[in-house]
């Protein structure tokens, strides 16, 4: 059986980013960096996604949106915060409308620092996310096995 | 003896079509990447994707979803099996239409606005390609005197000699059937679509896996239809058919990478015009020739 992490489908959501990080995320798809080498597909559908990639901090308007997208994704799933804004709020931290980093709203697995985060570090973060994805899928497989054993006995 | 061959060919389709279909899908992604100057994913990527989808959690939004998707898959396999068994082409095409109806139903039972809009577009796509599909069956009848697929093996010359127009028309609507740009209106394998993922928006995990699998089966069946134009009683016609299939697949990938999505009315109009001119014209000429000689 091929590994779960060989097919990471990524959903990209722009929180309150200045668009700097978004450009870099898209740059990772271009011929120079080409993250499709790792099987990454950029999908717009949370139901198909394995990795939620968020740029920019969370504000009071999109808080519920981010939570909903996260809930619509099937398990196992991983969240990657790209850019210092997504990690902690960054330069917008003290703005009246900003709640803070992504982890104020949903659990984050990988933090990618930088302003803007370079494509190299985004790819680095995604590769780390693959490890987390693999661990989570192993854990959920063990869990469902335990459940079916419990049902049988 | 011929019955044994037909049964074997059906069995071969059911067992091998996923392998061939998945391999073609991988080739598609690799080729597309190369056309864009990228490395692209591994050749076996579609199989990794499928394995993952089957392992992922399913978030079913309707209890009928599974039944509809499973029926879609079963009907598509049935279509291909009947085709490769050499049965009546009309029967094959009717089963195909039923399969597509299940796909549309699977999307509409979810109540998602994106999926529903995708389903409506899927219906328009069916409306666009169905006439040409029917003309293809009629064309084979006029060329070979029989609707049965297996009868092409008893002809002296490949059907393409008599049906070049029908072949061109079919080539045009194949782009709709393969869900390639510019006609990937109902759902698309490219990122960023105005409809999220159209028909497949609400399919997660194994549901999406079954849809992918069905598309692989469907693609192999459609390429088989292309091959049918080139097969005759001569042994070398097999090689010709394989060459034609590969060329058509390459063309589809090229068109996919070089064109932008069109609006539905443009698709409907152009598909029907091509059907009438290429398909209808071809059949008219055949009929005139038949009456004269
Ligand atoms: S980290 Fe910098 S580039 Fe990225 S969204 Fe924040 S301000 Fe913009």
> With 90 as the cut, is the pLDDT of residue A67 above it?
yes
Q: Which of B49, B62, B195 to mutate to test the interface with A (most CBs of A within 10 A)?
A: B49
Of all residues in chain A, the percent with pLDDT exceeding 90 is 50
Q: What pLDDT shows up at residue A152?
A: 54
Q: Is the CB of A137 under 6 A from ligand 1?
A: no
Q: What pLDDT shows up at residue B110?
A: 87
The model's confidence at residue A108, banded by pLDDT at 50, 70 and 90, is: very high
Interchain CB contact of A37 with B (< 8 Å): yes
Domains of chain A in sequence order: 9-152 (3.40.50.12280)
Interchain CB contact of A31 with B (< 8 Å): yes
User: Which atom number of ligand 1 is nearest to the Cα of residue A114?
Assistant: 1
User: Which atom number of ligand 1 is nearest to the Cα of residue A90?
Assistant: 6
Write out the residues of chain B at the interface with chain A, using a CB-CB cutoff of 8 A: 29, 33, 36-42, 44-45, 47-49, 51-52, 55-59, 191-193, 196-197, 200-205, 208
> With 60 as the cut, is the pLDDT of residue A112 above it?
yes
Q: Are A63 and A100 in contact (CB under 8 A)?
A: no
- Tell me the mean pLDDT in the region A118-134: 91
- Tell me the mean pLDDT in the region B131-156: 86
Q: What pLDDT shows up at residue B145?
A: 83
How far out from the chain centre does Cα B99 lie? 12
Q: A11-15, A114-118, A140-144 — which is least confidently predicted?
A: A140-144
What residue ranges do the domains of chain B occupy?
Answer: 2-292
Q: What pLDDT shows up at residue B194?
A: 76
Q: Which residues of A touch B191 (CB under 8 A)?
A: 41-44
**Nearest protein CA to atom 2 of ligand 1, as residue:** A115
Nearest CA to A126 out of A55, A78, A74, A71 is that of: A78
Contact A75 B51 (CB under 8 A): no
Higher pLDDT pick, B107 / B152: B107
How many whole angstroms from A80 Cα to the centroid of ligand 1? 15
Nearest CA to A126 out of A73, A88, A82, A84 is that of: A82
H or E segment to which residue A149 belongs: helix A119-152
Q: What pLDDT shows up at residue B17?
A: 93
Complex prediction ipTM:
0.86
> With 70 as the cut, is the pLDDT of residue B150 above it?
yes
User: Which atom number of ligand 1 is nearest to the Cα of residue A18?
Assistant: 8
pLDDT tens by residue, B60-92: 888 888 999 999 999 999 999 999 988 899 999
- Tell me the mean pLDDT in the region A44-60: 91
How far out from the chain centre does Cα B87 lie? 18
Q: Are A106 and A80 in contact (CB under 8 A)?
A: no
Say whether the peptide bond before residue A116 is cis (omega within 30 degrees of 0). Answer: yes
Q: What pLDDT shows up at residue A151?
A: 55
Interchain CB contact of A48 with B (< 8 Å): yes
């Amino acid at each position: 059986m091929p590994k779960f992490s060989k097919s990471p489908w990524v959903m990209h959501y722009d929180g309150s980013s200045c668009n700097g990080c978004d450009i870099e995320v898209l740059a990772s798809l271009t011929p120079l960096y080409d993250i499709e080498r790792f099987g990454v597909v950029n999908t717009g559908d949370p139901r198909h996604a394995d990795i939620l990639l968020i740029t920019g901090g969370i504000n009071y308007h999109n808080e519920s949106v981010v939570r909903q997208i996260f809930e619509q994704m099937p398990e196992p799933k991983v969240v990657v915060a790209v850019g210092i804004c997504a990690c902690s709020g960054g330069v917008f931290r003290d703005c009246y409308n900003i709640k803070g980093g992504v982890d104020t709203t949903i659990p984050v697995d990988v933090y990618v620092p930088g302003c803007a985060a370079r494509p190299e570090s985004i790819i680095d973060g995604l590769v780390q996310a693959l490890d987390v994805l693999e661990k989570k899928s192993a854990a959920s497989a063990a869990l469902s096995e335990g459940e079916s054993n419990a049902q049988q006995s | 003896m011929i019955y044994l061959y037909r049964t074997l060919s059906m069995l071969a389709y059911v067992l091998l079509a996923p392998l061939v279909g998945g391999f073609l899908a991988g080739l598609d992604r690799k080729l597309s990447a190369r056309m864009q100057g990228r490395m692209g994913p591994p050749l076996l990527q579609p199989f990794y994707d499928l394995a993952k989808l089957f392992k992922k959690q399913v978030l079913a939004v309707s209890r009928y979803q599974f039944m509809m998707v499973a029926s879609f898959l079963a009907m598509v396999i049935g279509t291909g099996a009947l085709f490769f068994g050499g049965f009546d082409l009309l029967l094959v095409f009717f089963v195909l239409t039923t399969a597509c109806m299940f796909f549309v139903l699977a999307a509409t039972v979810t109540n998602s606005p994106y999926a529903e809009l995708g389903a409506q577009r899927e219906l328009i796509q069916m409306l666009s390609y169905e006439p040409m599909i029917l003309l293809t069956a009629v064309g084979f009848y006029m060329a070979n005197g029989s609707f049965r697929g297996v009868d092409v093996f008893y002809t002296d010359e490949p059907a393409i000699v008599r049906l070049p127009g029908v072949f061109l028309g079919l080539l045009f609507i194949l782009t709709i059937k393969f869900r390639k740009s510019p006609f990937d209106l109902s759902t698309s394998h490219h990122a960023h679509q105005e409809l999220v993922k159209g028909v497949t928006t609400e399919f997660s995990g194994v549901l999406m896996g079954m849809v992918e699998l069905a598309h692989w089966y469907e693609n192999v069946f459609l390429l088989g239809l292309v091959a049918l134009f080139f097969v005759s009683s001569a042994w070398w016609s097999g090689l010709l058919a394989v060459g034609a299939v590969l060329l058509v697949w390459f063309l589809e990938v090229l068109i996919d990478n070089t064109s932008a999505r069109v609006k539905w009315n443009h698709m409907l109009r152009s598909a029907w015009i091509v059907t009438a001119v290429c398909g209808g014209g071809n059949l008219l000429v055949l009929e005139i020739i038949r009456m004269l000689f």
